[in-house]
Structure 1
């Protein structure tokens, strides 16, 4: 490989993984890497870009969530699609979409995905979801990029386990706009613990193939973010969605209903 075209954007407003993501997307769009082609190894990519492998892996995982690349165990990263324009935030979604509207659509998609995953996911996929939940739970509360990455990976794993390609494509259009909102939602250990506990509850229902429980626990989880946003923006109470929630004293207890 030559070194031409590997320099990252000097935009200091974006975190490093997003700059790497932008560059890899640009390389794919330019035709340097075509659909089905294997990407260079992670050490090679990190050297070419002049970045740490941890930041590179985060960028690759974000592109995986968006369906641009995929990883084949033991073989490496491959380009899944060069049609990256459709996966950009400008596709379908306008720049003036209200954050509350965005979350409401996310709730609809992910609730359906969780229900379908409970019926369709195999044991390997369910184990993967549980692993992603654990990764988010153990992520450092001081590292917002790690919290964002592990949160995105958990939700993307549930979406994939729905085995609904159209639902997955629709979800990908939300990811870029959700990223800023997600990152800004982190800030306290309490919020992180709540998020991690609710991820575990979703995984609990999926493991038992309980489609109703998986659906409602996902809705409950996302309503926490929705209500946090509503409180911050002063949304009138009569405009907010509402639902009872599952709570659990520990990961092993069976969740029970609890009203807000």
Structure 2
């Protein structure tokens, strides 16, 4: 069913609740549309820009909500086609939600260490698999990030997320992409508390460029090392788990070496 034909008259207004994060309110509204029959199994959702307009929310918050529903098996994204309702038997889904949510109760240190593992692997794979169009798109997304005003936290977070998500997609590994999406809500929380200066923001954009440089040369080892260097900045600034020492990660790459974790001193 075309997105524009999905019950135009239905209300998409969010429930007012300032105590709950916006992505949770969006998730609740989409669930209501499914339970109420507005959205049925197999329906294509409106495009992200249209849905963001209907809900009057930023696309980054919308995407977080969609990713939460995706992890629950309620919606799915079809590459090049958009978001679709996968299932409407939410009672069965509810049985698995508590376990999924519990799995997200991790420290920032755990979150960022897993992110480094996934994104550096994605960078290596993208160096081998990404097409020229995907690399051009990464360059455009980084330009958007570079131009984002530092004081506009939402734009900084959204443009940075767009770049990293595009890199993950460029790995052409669907399981890796699904695993990465589990981290996105927590990563956004980390970034909101980072408050980077213009100097740090520019450095981050330059590190993105360095990753792209290695990707264009199909240098998987260089791409992995450059991504490691980039992600360590946030890791060292944000990871605050006091229950275990923060690890260090050598980014020196020799002929056959990869970045290696070690004990911090």
Q: Shorter-chain TM-score: which interval? A: 0.7 to 0.9
Aligned to 1:33: 39
Contact 2:44 2:85 in 1 (8 A): no
Moved more, 185-194 or 221-230: 185-194
Q: Secondary structure at the match of 1:242?
A: strand
Contact 1:64 1:70 in 2 (8 A): no
CA distances 1:154-199 after superposition (whole Å, capped 9, x unpaired): 1110111111111111111111122111221134212211221111
Cα distance in 1 for residues equivalent to 2:197 and 2:221? 30
Contact 1:36 1:79 in 2 (8 A): yes
Q: Shift of residue 206 of structure 1?
A: 1.0
Contact 2:130 2:171 in 1 (8 A): yes
Cα distance in 2 for residues equivalent to 1:33 and 1:123? 37
Cα distance in 2 for residues equivalent to 1:194 and 1:156? 19
Aligned to 1:115: 124
Moved more, 85-94 or 135-144: 85-94
Change (3 A) 1:113 1:48: closer
Cα distance in 2 for residues equivalent to 1:218 and 1:131? 18
TM-score using structure 2 length: 0.73
Change (3 A) 1:71 1:234: same
1:10 pairs with 2:16: yes
1:153 pairs with 2:162: yes
Q: Shift of residue 243 of structure 1?
A: 2.1
Which structure 2 residues correspond to residues 92-241 of structure 1 after superposition, within 5 A? 94-230=103-239, 239-241=246-248
Aligned to 1:242: 249
Q: Secondary structure at the match of 2:248?
A: coil
Q: Shift of residue 46 of structure 1?
A: 5.8
Aligned to 1:253: none
Change (3 A) 1:240 1:123: same
Q: Shift of residue 98 of structure 1?
A: 1.5
In the alignment of these two chains, the number of paired residues is 238
Change (3 A) 1:164 1:219: same
In structure 2, runs of 5+ residues without a counterpart are 1-6, 254-265
Q: Secondary structure at the match of 2:218?
A: coil
Change (3 A) 1:39 1:198: same
